[in-house]
Amino acid sequence: MKITKPEAISAIRNALQGANDISIRVIPTKYPSGATKQLIYLLTGIEVPSGERSSSIGVLMQNVGTMFAIKRAVINDEPLIERVVTLTGNKIAEKRQLLGASWHTHFPNIERCGLSI
């Protein structure tokens, strides 16, 4: 979990009290730390060799958004028609996460976030 989410961290820790087989790791908010190889290194201290997949070092990492989309498709029989997109960076005045019905619907939202080019 990102360090910028203290309420979420606290709620998850409270919910997991007594679950000895699950641990919560708080990661710094610095770029790059969200990509698979960077997260694996931050969480395990093991580097994925160049040109190899994380499975070559015994690590499987899944994106929560992807897992949620798979659950909705398989369990709920729903198509993937919306996705959360994170808007951040120097050119975005109002950083935020947006849920959109499809990629083309995000462009007006990006403009509303104060994109400056």
Question: What is the structure's pLDDT at 23?
Answer: 83
pTM strictly above 0.75: no
Instruction: Specify if 91 maps to a domain.
Output: yes
Structural domains counted in the chain = 1
Express each pLDDT in 48-57 by its tens digit: 999 999 999 9
Instruction: Specify if 93 maps to a domain.
Output: yes
Identify the residue with better confidence: 90 or 75.
75
Domain that holds residue 71: 62-117
Question: What is the structure's pLDDT at 99?
Answer: 77
Instruction: Specify if 96 maps to a domain.
Output: yes
Instruction: Specify if 40 maps to a domain.
Output: no
Instruction: Specify if 56 maps to a domain.
Output: no
Alpha-helix residue ranges (DSSP H) falling in 1-117: 6-15, 36-44, 64-74, 106-112
Question: What is the structure's pLDDT at 117?
Answer: 54
Band the pLDDT of 32: cuts 50, 70, 90: low
Instruction: Specify if 101 maps to a domain.
Output: yes
